[in-house]
Amino acid sequence: MGPVVPEFSRHQRQPRGSRQRSGPLGDQPFPGLLPKNLSREELVDALRAAVVDRKGPLVTLNKPQGLPVTGKPGELTLFSVLPELSQSLGLREQELQVVRASGKESSGLVLLSSCPQTASRLQKYFTHARRAQRPTATYCAVTDGIPAASEGKIQAALKLEHIDGVNLTVPVKAPSRKDILEGVKKTLSHFRVVATGSGCALVQLQPLTGPG
């Protein structure tokens, strides 16, 4: 579960000089959200268009919010379309594997590898770094209000709630043992204010616990 601060919301920014892609995601008013009722072929096309870097066996793409990495049999997920995505990218013999990916309710970079040995080594690195509470992922958030401190750490208990048709991560004050058993996660994240504006701020967050 990624880091969340009360009254924080994730926001994607379009790089200067870049053009918005057309297609299943580019035609949406907010391309960071996964459209509903997307076909398997449209999802593969969207993920191919979302590739931002390829180096050796590694492929990096920008996963849209709302796309789960894994799921039930028959469910449309990132994992379920990896064979088609691999073929679409010209990888014939070696199928892509997920090395690092954010959860369904997060958008952001996903790291894939067509080499099983490379994938295994990187997965072990991320596992070791997480246990040592070293940041391996960075998120950006826009705040409603400006944080009093420009940098620090946030300890928060978080849970998923279904609000207005969307699963959102919300804080839980003083979670009980029952809350923990029901899926509430205790998290620790480092934050730094990058810029401020009219009643808002751009904040960089690095989770130190959880999958990040």
> pLDDT (tens digit, 9 = 90+) per residue, 99-132?
988 877 778 889 999 999 999 999 999 888 878 8
Residue 15 has pLDDT above 60, yes or no: no
| CA pair distance 47, 125, nearest whole angstrom | 25
**Is residue 41 pLDDT above 60, yes or no?**
yes
pLDDT at 19 over 70: no
Half-sphere exposure (Cβ direction) of 45: Cα atoms closer than 13 Å: 11
Q: Which of 1, 13, 50 is nearest to 194 (CA)?
A: 13
Extract the tokens encoding 187.
């998290």
pLDDT at 201 over 90: yes
- pLDDT mean across residues, the chain: 81
Domains of the chain and CATH, by start: 40-132 (3.30.2350.10), 139-207 (no CATH)
What's the whole-number mean pLDDT along residues 188-195? 94
User: Which residues lie below 8 Å from residue 25, measured CB to CB, with a gap of 6+?
Assistant: 31, 34, 35, 46, 49, 50, 64
What letter would DSSP give residue 77?
A: -
Hey, CA dihedral for 63, 169, 124, 68, is it positive or negative?
A: negative
Helix (H, G, I), strand (E, B) or coil at 169: strand
Separation between Cα atoms, residue 39 and residue 47, nearest integer Å:
12
pTM greater than 0.75: no
Q: Name the more confident of 88 and 18.
A: 88
Q: Please give the pLDDT value at position 36.
A: 74
What angle (nearest 5°) sits at the alpha carbon of residue 123, between those of residues 118 and 128? Answer: 130
| pLDDT for the residue numbered 196 | 96
With the C-alpha atoms ordered 97, 103, 105, 109, is the resulting torsion angle positive or negative? negative
Q: CA-to-CA distance for 46 and 23, rounded, in angstroms?
A: 7
Contacts of 62 (CB under 8 A, 6+ apart): 50, 52, 107, 108, 109, 110
- In this predicted structure, the answer to whether residue 92 has a pLDDT above a threshold of 90 is no
Range scoring the smallest mean pLDDT among 10-14, 33-37, 73-77? 10-14
Q: How far apart are CA 143 and CA 10, in angstroms?
A: 9
